[in-house]
Amino acid sequence: MIPYGKQNISEEDIAAVVKVLRSDFITQGPTLPRFERAIATHAGAAHCIAVNSATSALHIGLLALDVGPGDLVWTSPISFVASSNAALYCGADVDFVDIAPDTFNMDMQALASKLKLAKAAGCLPKVVIPVHISGRSCDMKALDMLRKSYGFKVLEDASHAIGANYDGRPVGCCDYSELCVFSFHPVKIITTGEGGALTTNDPLLAKRLAALRSHGITRDANDMERYDGPWYYEQHSLGYNYRMTEIQAALGLSQMARLDLFVQRRRELAERYDRILSNSDFILPVLDNDESRSAWHLYVVRLSEGIKPLTRLHLINKLRSDGIGVNVHYIPIPRQPFYRNLGFDPQQFPVAEGYYESAISLPLYYDMTEDEQDTIVKCLLEPAGFQTIF
Ligand SMILES: *Cc1c(COP(=O)(O)O)cnc(C)c1O
């Protein structure tokens, strides 16, 4: 089976992990800060805090922004459930803003209208979580104008987008946000097995995050109310054990050396899909331009208007039986039974619904060969696949 995504592990990665296993520290050692520094440097941000998943990063990110019961967090309906679950962990309420029909990122016009109504009703969001879907940045300048007029905070879910660029700067630089979250799950751009990280330019937020990932404990004598001796630490907030191990950090640090290479190859393969599919009936993803260069986590094609969802199901079943692991990203979060039980109706987000019924993620990963890509495209375009349908 050709998977839709897959990690690349080099001999150097393996050696880096083995080295840590033979060292004194397999957690809470010197490798984690080095990994964090590598991310912060690459992203052009002042601080980085790595944790055991992007989900944990979203959770403590919202807590560091003081999100709690009675607060409102808005995000995109086309994302992994973690983007909105994190707000619910904090006891906050969640709502969604429909996506734009071309980029599938949060629609800034829909956001503007929803904010206007929310202001009149006295229920503005405290935090907005834009999701850089498939690795392409949201329109952060439009979001920033709204942030300034309505006073909400911005936490970027850049789980797909480490290595992407927006307006000539790396995603993660936090030019237009308080915090930015990356994921290192094996299907993402770089991996630590499980893992995630936050970047920020705010030293106070960085300090809060460092405490929240480890029980809310500080060991810094300058921050303590008293000092009993060298064993002493103080807990100042209710944190968690969301720490990343040295084993994971060593893998991540080793992977960071190939981040640019990974993104470059993904971009080449995406451009190659564009060329081979240019005469097909599929609607192809928007291309990179001067303002936005995607990290190409996903290559999502859509069936043209008027093709029924059943057709897509047949096509996906056919491709899977051909050994091609096509997938759908994502099921709109408001469709999930858990969210319906909270009162959401997916029809409130019609663009997300239309996207969901027509989208197919084609395989895309660093090690995919051009032969594999040709096989995928051949199976996708095979008329037999369609003839059994109509
Ligand atoms: C993968 C992903 C997450 C969760 O990442 P984990 O590291 O698995 O917790 C959150 N948001 C988006 C958009 C993702 O794709």
- 149-174 pLDDT, tens digit each: 999 999 999 999 999 999 999 999 99
CA of 191 to the centre of ligand 1 (A): 12
- Kindly state if the Cβ of 104 falls inside 6 Å of ligand 1: no
State how beta strands 196-200 and 179-183 pair: antiparallel
**CA 328 – ligand 1 centroid, Å:** 15
Cα(101) to centroid(ligand 1), Å: 22
Tell me the CATH number at 28. 3.40.640.10
pLDDT in tens, 226-237: 999 999 999 999
Ligand 1 atom 6 nearest Cα? 54
User: What is the average pLDDT across 344-362?
Assistant: 97
- Asked if residue 371 is part of any domain, the answer here is yes
User: Both 188 and 272 in a single domain?
Assistant: no
Q: Among 7, 55, 138, 298, say which to mutate for ligand 1: greatest number of ligand atoms within 8 Å of CB.
A: 55
Task: Evaluate if residue 381 carries a pLDDT over 60.
Answer: yes
**Band of the pLDDT at 41, cuts 50, 70, 90?**
very high
* Residues 71 and 203 grouped into a single domain: yes
Query: In terms of DSSP bridges, do strands 127-129 and 93-96 run parallel, antiparallel, or are they unpaired?
Result: unpaired
Spatial contact of 146 and 173, defined as CB atoms under 8 Å apart: no
The closest residue, in CA terms, to atom 2 on ligand 1 is 159
What CATH number is given to the structural domain containing 368?
Answer: 3.90.1150.10
Q: What is the mean pLDDT of residues 253-281?
A: 97
Domain assignment of residue 314, yes or no: yes
Given phi > 0 = left and psi -120 to 50 = alpha, else beta, which region is 91? left
pLDDT of 136 above 50 = yes
Greatest pairwise CA separation for the chain in angstroms: 78
The pLDDT value recorded for residue 281 is 87
| Span from the CA of 269 to the centroid of ligand 1 (angstroms) | 23
Q: Which atom of ligand 1 is nearest to the CA of 57?
A: 9
Question: Is residue 390 domain-resident?
Answer: no
Name the token pair of 181.
């979250």
Identify whether the C-beta of residue 61 lies closer than 8 Å to the C-beta of residue 198. yes
Per the prediction, the chain carries an average pLDDT of: 96
In the β-sheet with 47-51, what is the strand arrangement from edge to edge?
47-51, 196-200, 179-183, 153-157, 127-129, 72-75, 93-96
Cα 18 from Cα 234, distance rounded (Å): 34
The answer to whether residues 297 and 236 belong to one domain is no
Are 64 and 213 within one domain? yes
| The pLDDT of residue 385 is above 80 | no
Range of the domain at 160: 11-256
Residue 143's pLDDT is what?
98
Residue 34 shares a structural domain with residue 181: yes
Q: Is residue 2 part of a domain?
A: no
Ligand 1 pocket, mutate which of 56, 78, 183, 328 (most atoms under 8 A from CB): 183
Count of domains forming the chain: 2
Asked whether residue 59 carries a pLDDT value surpassing 60, the answer given is yes
> Does the pLDDT at position 386 exceed 60?
no
Ligand 1 centroid–CA 55 distance in Å is 6
Grade residue 389 by pLDDT with cuts at 50, 70 and 90.
very low
Q: Is 55 in the pocket of ligand 1 (CB under 6 A)?
A: yes
pLDDT tops 80 at residue 131: yes
Residue range 208-218: mean pLDDT, rounded: 97
Final residue belonging to a domain, choices 204, 239, 256: 256
Instruction: Give the pairing type, strands 72-75 and 127-129.
Output: parallel
Pocket test for ligand 1, best of 52, 159, 297 (most atoms within 8 A of CB): 159
C-beta 156 within 6 A of ligand 1: no
Expressed in angstroms and rounded, the spacing between residue 81 Cα and the centre of ligand 1 is 8
% of the chain exceeding 70 in pLDDT: 97
Assess whether 240 and 121 both reside in one domain. Answer: yes
User: Residue 383: pLDDT above 80?
Assistant: no
pLDDT bin (cut points 50, 70, 90) of residue 304 is confident
Do residues 277 and 223 share a domain?
A: no
Q: What is the pLDDT of residue 349?
A: 98
* Residues 232, 370 within the same domain: no
pLDDT value of residue 390: 43
Same domain membership, residue 217 and residue 119: yes
pLDDT band per the 50, 70, 90 thresholds, residue 387: very low
- Whether 197 and 239 map to the same domain: the answer is yes
User: Would residue 339 count as lying in a domain?
Assistant: yes
Residue 382: pLDDT band (50, 70, 90) is confident
Mean pLDDT, rounded, for 290-313: 89
What sign does the dihedral 230-231-236-237 (CA atoms) show?
Answer: positive
The H or E element spanning position 127 is strand 127-129
* Integer Cα distance of 344 and 339 in angstroms: 6
Structure tokens at 274: 């564009």
Domain C-terminal end among 239, 256, 273? 256
Three-class SS state of 257: coil
In this prediction, residue 308 has a pLDDT band, given cuts at 50, 70 and 90, of low
Is there an atom of ligand 1 within 6 Å of 159 CB? yes
Ligand 1 pocket residue status of 83, Cβ below 6 Å:
yes
Mean pLDDT of 346-362: 97
pLDDT of 21 above 60: yes
